[in-house]
Structures are given as C-alpha cells and as structure tokens.
Structure 1
C-alpha cells in the first residue's frame, strides 16, 4: 500500500478511501499466504461448483469451489448466495484447510448474519490459521471480537510438544518456517519412527528452548517463533478497522523498519496507530 500524501483539507477523503481500500484488499491476500501456494485458476460452472462442494474424497475440489464462489461474491454476483449454506457447513469440516478457506470466504459476505455467527465460532477453532482467518474476516464486519487473535499475530508464538520422549531439534535460530515445516522429532520408547512436530504457523525461529536429547513430556515448550511479516501486515490492516488503545503497544513494535522487515509493514503500523489514536480521541 503506497503512502498517501494530501493536504489537510483532503484528509477526510483520504481516510475514507483508505478504509475502503483496506476492507476490499484485506481478504484477497490471505488465502495465498495460508494455502501453501495452492492456486485454483479454472473457472467452474454452477454444476461443477455443486459437485465439488459435495466431494468428500477430494478436499481440494471443495477449496476450488470456495475460491470460485468468493470471486463471484467479490464481483457482486448474486448467484453466489445459493451456496452460502454450503460455506457455513464447510466451516465445520474435519480438515483444517477447508475451514481456513471457508473462514476467508465468509469475510467477503459482510452482510450475512450466518457468516458472522459462524466466524465467531471459528475463533475457538483448534487450528491457529483458522482462528486467524476468522479474526481477519470479522474485522471486515467491524466486529472487534477477534482482537486477541489479531494481537497474537503480532507476537512470538511458542511451540509445545504433543508427544513425550527425547527431543531432536531440526532448525536453528533465524531459520524461516512455513506452515507445516518440520521443527523437531521426538524419539519415543518402543516406536520404530520418531514422532514429528510441525509448525502450525509461519514465522522465524527466535529461540530453541531445549537442547537436543532433552526429555520432554506432553505440553512442554520447545521453541519460540517470531511472527511472519505477511501475517503481521494482515493483522495491522485488521486492527486499523477494529483496534483500540490496548493494541498500540503491539502495533508500535513495528513502527521502525528493521532488517528483513518489508517497508509496507512499518508503513501500515503507522497508519494503524494513527487511526487507533484518532478513534480514541473521538474525532
């Protein structure tokens, strides 16, 4: 997002335009951050969308259909409304990637109460990426309920082990992590193969908390990840819409550019901090 420079007299217009731009753009980038480079380019017919939504054996078909529906929603195509009940149903799918996709799509139907209610439920999902997309989408409804999740996107993420045994770290500090990156293995007594610990979120390794060979039990903290800058950027955009003064401490950490941080992150942090202060002042 390019920095906008206007005279004081044009400030209200600038702010209104900025808000519209953020609402329109915020929910376009997220799926490509969260889907591990999945891309669905072929346009589907109505019949294919119905077929793909019902396919229980190939979840990527359901994702493809959801993307097509989202494109129709973005274009203001009323035919998309026939599948709204299907989107709500898929928000309860057993596969996290389907729930992630559904949470994003519902963010584009910002006048639909069923979407809003379902997104509130998804804030309690077991998967962090589902919660994050739900919080981002709720910001488009001007609903601040997801603020704790948005705050978490700006903070380090602590990895815990779901297994007991001997820890073998795989990564070093400053290593970049994608969602599902293998972080460590746990050697378990009697098991032929070690259990794997994969990252639920992207980020950068800040610190390994335990040495190789350490005995761990379920729930032990083993690693801390710094937040991924793409997720930081999305959170800052959402907090522009729903943030309060309580969020300023988290936002301020990104005001100054640092090595490896994209310039647009610091720029968005400034815009978000300014907007939060403006709301707090009641102007």
Structure 2
C-alpha cells in the first residue's frame, strides 16, 4: 500500500520578500543555436522573434512569476527580449538576471569577475530590462582569478545603491555560499540539478536550512532515463503524466526551497512543463526516484 503525499508547496518567499510560484521559466533556450550539450552557443537572438515573445507571454499567462535570464545570453539579447515581451512588469513578476561571464566568441564562456566590469554589466542589464532596480542579480560564476570578496563586494555596492534588491550565486559550493553570505545576504543559488545530476544535494540541503532559494537549471534533462520500461516511465504512467512532468514534479517534492526554471522555445512544451505543478507523487514514487542508484 502506497502512502499518498499532499501537493508540494506552490510558492517560495525569495529573500523573505515577494512570494513567487516555484515553477519558473529560464530563457536560455530562446536563443538561436541552443545546443543540448555544453558549451551551449546561445549566441544570437531567436530568428523567430515573435514565437519567442509568445512563449514568454504565455509563461506569465500560465502563472510563471520568476523569469531567469543573463547578460551573456545572445550578448544581452535575452534581456532585451524579456523586456520587449513583458515590460511593464506586473507587481508579482520577479525578473532575475546574471552577470560575470564574457562571450568573446560563440564557443567561449569566459569568467570575468573584476568589480568594475560587474558594476558596468549591472548597469547595462538595468537598461536592457528597463528597470531601476534588478529584483535578483546573480553572479553567473565565481572567477577564481579575482578575490571572492571583491566580486561579492561589487554586488553589495550595487545593492547598497538601490540598484539591486536581492543577490544570488550560480554553480557554487556550500563553502562559497558561506563565504559570500559573510559579506552580504544571499537570497538564491542557481546550480544544475535534476534526476540525472544530483551532485549538489548538499547545497540543496544547506539552502533549505538557510531559507535560500535553490534555482534548478536544466531541471528536466531526463534523456535516456525516460526509456520505455524504466522506472521514470513507470512512475509517469502510474500518475498519468509525461516523464518530463515527473522530473519537474520530483524537484518540487524534493525540497520546498527548490525552484525549477525549465526553458523551452515551444508553447506546447511550456504548457506541458507548467502542468507538472499539478502532478502529485506518493511516497513510493519519491523513494524510487530518489534512490541513490536511480538509473531511470
């Protein structure tokens, strides 16, 4: 006999401020030439701009309150597209962006955390997003060549100047979160995390204890895990959902501070992803999917 679970908590109060629905939207896949393997080019704005704008607007219609982008996506084109589609922003919409990565060519993602550069990029993000204050500004990656205190200090200065409300980090360890938190409150951490990639379990747990939002990027990435006869497919069939929906539902059940940010360039896929919020997994399903030796 299985033990039923209640639906996961639908919202999370990021930074102790505005509650946002936990299932957000990531804009990376809206760029042309998106590759499913690293490094993703994400170099040019979408050739079918109307389709991309329609996806963004439909996301908000479906209840998305957290939209994540970055200054590196299409060399700022991702931020411009968010503004074109959604500005003026609703009071319940939280726009998150990231800075700290240089794109000298389509195949290069170069970490650059010089404080002056970070402050300049924040100013450009403000202009492209048509904002006076960035609701959530994340350090895209920590540059190992620049003291962490200098990088976080630049973000703190922006916060002190009223240009940033909340500060976040991306692809970090617990130790790095602790070091940054000693300088300024960290409201969010964005790491890759999904059924197939769970190396950040410790970070998820730490963020939950500290009340920090954990933004899971590439949250679906099920690939071969969705094969016929596999555990993921069996759970999906049992609950009447798709493997992708179960992958997202597992994240929503994983911890109340996990905010998946799936991206897509298709309205149909967007609607499928958003329906994952209605998928309820029981204890047996959670145990199966969460097993250390889970292989789908």
The alignment's TM-score, normalised by the length of structure 2, stands at: 0.27
Quick one: higher RCO (CA 8 Å, sep 6+), 1 or 2? Answer: 2
Higher CA-based Rg: 1
- Counting helix residues as a fraction of each chain, which structure ranks higher? 1
